[in-house]
Amino acid sequence: MVRAPAEAEEPPDFPELTAFQEAAGPAVPARERATPASPWFPDDPDDDTQQFPAISAGAGDDTNGDDTLQFPAISAAAGNGADSPLRGVTSTPPGPDARPRATTTSAHPEPSAAAPAPEAAVPRPLAPVAMPSARASELAPPSAAPRSRRPAFLDQLRFLVLPLAAIALYATSLPYIHPRAMNDFGIVSVMPWQTWLAFGLLTAGFIACWRRADQATWLLVVHVLLLIFMLYGLPGLVIHEPSGPIVYRHTGITETLIRTRTVDTKIDAYFSWPGFFMGLATLVKLGGAPSALTFGTWATVGFNLLFLPPLLVVARALTRDPRLVWGSIWIFYAANWIDQDYLAPQSFAYLCYLTMLGLLLTYLRPREADPGSGRRLTGRLRSLLRVRASDVPIPATSRWTAAAVVALVVLLYTATVASHQLTPFAILIGVVALVAIGECTARGLPLLMIVILALWDIFVAHGYLSGHLSQVVSGVGDLTKATSANITQRIGGSTQHLVVVRERLLLSGGLWLLALLGMIRRFRAGFADHAAAILFFGPLLLFGLQAYGGEMILRIYFFMLPFTAFFAIAALLPGRVPGIAALARLPAALREGAVITAFSLTIGIVLAACLLARYGNERADYFAPGEMAAMNALYAQARPGSKFAVEQSYLPWKYEQYDEHKYLSVESMLSQANPPTPAQAVRRLSLDLRPAPGHPAGFVIFTRSQRVYAEMFGGVLSPGYIGSLERLLEKSPDFALLYANSDARIYERLPGLSHAR
Amino acid sequence: MHARWLRPGIVLFSVAALVLVIAAGIGSPWRTILALWFVLICPGASVVGILGLGDRFVELSLIAPVSLVVVTLTSVALFYGGVWSAGAEFGLLLGLCLAGLVWSALRERYDGRQQA
């Protein structure tokens, strides 16, 4: 008699959490539940056949006589040797060195046509058994373990002790963080030990729950939510204002759209890709908020919360192993140091990117993976790369649902194209790669995306592109320029900042290496991770596209991050993936300890490194209350058409009347040929800011953050130059002090031409 | 409440609350919070049922991105059409939410008949 897997027989313990439990995939097999002390290691870690007793029987292991009764057909077939339906499974007896991988290249061990097996009548439910055991372990249905074996809800509550202690400690530590006292290491330089301990406790709590990832998904959700709040909410809780100048600029663009209700593409590039700002304008007006700055402080936390569900969809489409799902989610958040998730178009575009990938990987992957199937080129590529069907079951979808998913992907892409310049290219590369290897059934999607992109650039963004085309295309294929802008030029600044920069490189490079190791292990173990691998490597093509202001490498890191995290955790997972033979011979408890230690060290180091890497610029990004007060006073006084001059564009400005003022910086003067001396710069400012009929007075703004920026990042403006400039301007008869506090000084250009002469 | 009424219930209640707050002249933070909730949830919750994905978690995960995309694309259309205003945008979103809910209900009924 053939018994179907005992799937879905057991109701979830916590019905209200079903959605999240679904997100993490089915529970791990009974074998793992039955050994709570060692959830990953059976008595023989490489003996995956224990999970599929029929395979044991077929492979010559006669210890499971009962199971051979359950799967008589397979047992009989196994005895037929090479032509049996089990030929995709290793036939060597399980032992310490046995590897759970396919011994043939066939992904689908169908009965040989030449030698039809006697089990031709075996019903389909047995098909999953006859696949490489490593992959079969992922497909294993949830077992019907007795309910009494599961920890009760109250028992699980003890796992809340560590996160609750962490958040309490974190809250008590916040008053001791004084942003003014930061050095060039950023926030970590003023973080008291309580904050470090809070992150440590949260990490420890996560590890404790991660060990039981199949049993308490809701606890993992709690830990990840707390990580998002504690890690990404730190500047908001300490500084209470948005960090960095960009959020202020985005607020100004939104305010301009609300005020003018039109799109003037001549203002700057933002107005050629205004989708995000238009949506934000709707939110601001509908919510009766004074400005978009209302959302600026907590936007980072908000966007990271929004990333979580699509990230889970992506991870769930790649694996059903809950440890791999949640481990990669944690690493994603703990390693996201590049700070591209604030109130900005790229954050919204990234949400669309994740959502699209989730939809494509879940609903538009081929169910049958015949290496020779599909179109000619795709078939060849699939054969060449040995692409096989996904290890995760693809849900059966109707034609309507498939069409609706494609339509939704097109809508998401259109919104991305309307909002951001770079992300549509990252998406396009990913979709083209998926289609090329036959991992996306919507073959016309890349063409449709190219048409949308071209239509937008031709009919909407032409105002910007026509004037900057040479600038946009000049960097295409110039790897030297890209390397210089993205890496060489970024390694500079103060001694402490250099440590931060090098630590960022180490963190990113280390994670990429770990991910590569994980990828190799997964492929060696027979997992069909081609889609994840191609989405991992795909964004690297962007490097040759443009320098993107020296930020391309950061964006590439961000686009790769979900897949980097996935493979990095896969590198640490034990048992089913072939590992070091010596490790396999260790007792189960020791092996489990080694894995827990490796996982703990990895996520602990990554989180600690992320705190330094992510908030390493915070000394410059922090805008003191005095700076805000000065800028508010300036905007209250400045008339439309005024010119604002600064040393460098690193201050909280442009958040209102964005289109009504003109902006100058000494830094841009110095970037040109024949950079002026401080005295010449003062003379140039005097000329440029001179009031004239129809042109109101101009202003020169000195702030703390501009000086800090020069100290931290170096560049063309040295602190010495800034000091000289400020002293000369103070003495100049053309300028009068308009506003001053401890953090900022504003000078107004007086009428007349005394100095300029 | 029956599960099939949950999404329409949330959408209609959210819309009613926001309209009430705006009409009563209640300002920040309540209006801001309700508007944020509306923009993040309502358009997406109204339309995800149409897709027939058959996976509640994927549907839940799509609500916020779809909502933001709907708000963004309608705003873009109104801006480039030269008719953008908060009132026009809100009206359009309400219409889309209503249409989405009706479509979802019809699809649910159709699916029920097919299964029967």
Q: Average of pLDDT values for B5-30? A: 92
Looking at A114, A140, A166, the residue that finishes a domain is A140
| Helix, strand, coil percentages for chain B (3-state, nearest 5) | 85, 0, 15
Q: How far is A336 from chain B (nearest CA, A)?
A: 20
pLDDT digits (tens, 9 = 90+) for A484-540: 777 777 778 899 999 999 999 999 999 999 999 999 999 988 888 999 999 999 999
**For residue A671, what pLDDT is reported?**
75
Examine residue A592 and state whether it is found in any structural domain, yes or no.
no
**For residue A738, what pLDDT is reported?**
93
CB contact under 8 A, A279 and B71: yes
The one-letter amino acid code at B41 reads I
Q: Is the pLDDT of residue A345 over 50?
A: yes
Looking at A230, A263, A295, the residue that finishes a domain is A295
Q: What are the residues whose beta carbons fall under 8 Å from the beta carbon of A227, sequence distance 6 or more?
A: A202, A206, A330, A333, A334
Instruction: Choose the mutation target among A21, A258, A271, A278 for the interface with B, i.e. most B CBs under 10 Å.
Output: A278
Q: How many residues does chain A have?
A: 757
- C-alpha torsion sign, points A583, A588, A591, A595: positive
**For residue A492, what pLDDT is reported?**
82
**For residue A513, what pLDDT is reported?**
97
Examine residue A665 and state whether it is found in any structural domain, yes or no.
yes
Highest mean pLDDT among A12-16, A61-65, B56-60: B56-60
Looking at A140, A159, A193, the residue that finishes a domain is A140
pLDDT digits (tens, 9 = 90+) for A108-159: 333 333 333 333 333 333 333 333 334 444 444 444 444 555 556 778 888 9
Q: Place B115 in a pLDDT band, splitting at 50, 70 and 90.
A: confident
A176 three-class SS? helix
Q: Is the pLDDT of residue A73 over 70?
A: no
CB contact under 8 A, A352 and B65: yes
Token pair 């078939």 in the structure block, residue: A379
Give the separation between CA A167 and CA A172, rounded to whole angstroms.
9
Expressed as residue numbers, the domain containing A707 is: 623-749
Radius of gyration of chain B (CA): 15
Q: Is the pLDDT higher at A503 or at A86? A: A503
Q: Average of pLDDT values for A418-446? A: 94
Q: Place A752 in a pLDDT band, splitting at 50, 70 and 90.
A: confident
> Residues A224, A308: contact at Cβ < 8 Å?
yes
* CB proximity under 8 Å: B 80-109 to A: 80, 82, 84-86, 89-90
Q: Is the pLDDT higher at A153 or at A580? A: A153
Eight-state DSSP code of residue A229: I
Examine residue A291 and state whether it is found in any structural domain, yes or no.
yes
pLDDT digits (tens, 9 = 90+) for A450-465: 999 999 999 998 878 8
Q: Is the pLDDT of residue A78 over 50?
A: no
Residue A474 has φ and ψ, to the nearest 5°, of: -65, -30
**For residue A361, what pLDDT is reported?**
95
Examine residue A682 and state whether it is found in any structural domain, yes or no.
yes
Q: Is the pLDDT of residue A595 over 90?
A: no
Q: What are the residues whose beta carbons fall under 8 Å from the beta carbon of A454, sequence distance 6 or more?
A: none
Q: Place A550 in a pLDDT band, splitting at 50, 70 and 90.
A: confident
> Residues A585, A96: contact at Cβ < 8 Å?
yes
How many CB atoms neighbour CB A394 within 10 A?
17
Instruction: Kindly report the average pLDDT of chain A as a whole number.
Output: 79
Eight-state DSSP code of residue B30: H
Highest mean pLDDT among A38-42, A77-81, A743-747: A743-747
> Residues A572, A211: contact at Cβ < 8 Å?
no
Buried b / exposed e over B73-105, threshold 16 CB at 10 Å, is: bbbbebbbeeebebeebbebbbebbeebbeebe
pLDDT digits (tens, 9 = 90+) for A305-323: 999 999 999 999 999 899 9
> Residues A193, A176: contact at Cβ < 8 Å?
no
Report residue B39 as tokens.
Answer: 């923009």
The full set of domain ranges for chain B reads 3-109
Q: Average of pLDDT values for A236-244? A: 92
Q: Average of pLDDT values for A736-746? A: 94
Cis omega (within 30 of 0) for bond into B29: yes
Examine residue A738 and state whether it is found in any structural domain, yes or no.
yes
Closest of A392, A388, A391 to residue A371, by C-alpha? A388
Q: Average of pLDDT values for B65-87? A: 96
From A101-115, A380-394, A396-410, the region with the lowest mean pLDDT = A101-115
Examine residue A601 and state whether it is found in any structural domain, yes or no.
no
* Model ipTM over 0.85: yes
Examine residue A630 and state whether it is found in any structural domain, yes or no.
yes
Q: Average of pLDDT values for A248-276? A: 93
Instruction: Please give the tally of structural domains in chain A.
Output: 3
Q: Is the pLDDT higher at A746 or at A472? A: A746
Residues from chain B that touch A395, judged by Cβ atoms under 8 A, are 53-55
Radius of gyration of chain A (CA): 30
Question: Looking at the partner chain, which of B28, B33, B58 has a beta carbon nearest the beta carbon of A362?
Answer: B58
- C-alpha torsion sign, points A670, A675, A678, A684: negative
CB contact under 8 A, A313 and B58: yes
Nearest CA in chain B to A363: B53
Q: Is the pLDDT of residue A678 over 50?
A: yes
Q: Average of pLDDT values for A624-637? A: 94
**For residue A274, what pLDDT is reported?**
95
Q: Average of pLDDT values for A2-8? A: 37
> Residues A275, A345: contact at Cβ < 8 Å?
yes
Instruction: Kindly report the average pLDDT of chain B as a whole number.
Output: 92
**For residue B111, what pLDDT is reported?**
80
Q: Is A274 on the interface with B (CB under 8 A)?
A: yes
CB contact under 8 A, A279 and B68: yes
Token pair 């020169």 in the structure block, residue: A700
Examine residue A163 and state whether it is found in any structural domain, yes or no.
no
Q: How far is CA A653 from CA A149, A347, A646, A650, A741, in A?
A: 60, 21, 10, 8, 17
**For residue A207, what pLDDT is reported?**
95
Q: Average of pLDDT values for A586-600? A: 84
> Residues A430, A538: contact at Cβ < 8 Å?
yes
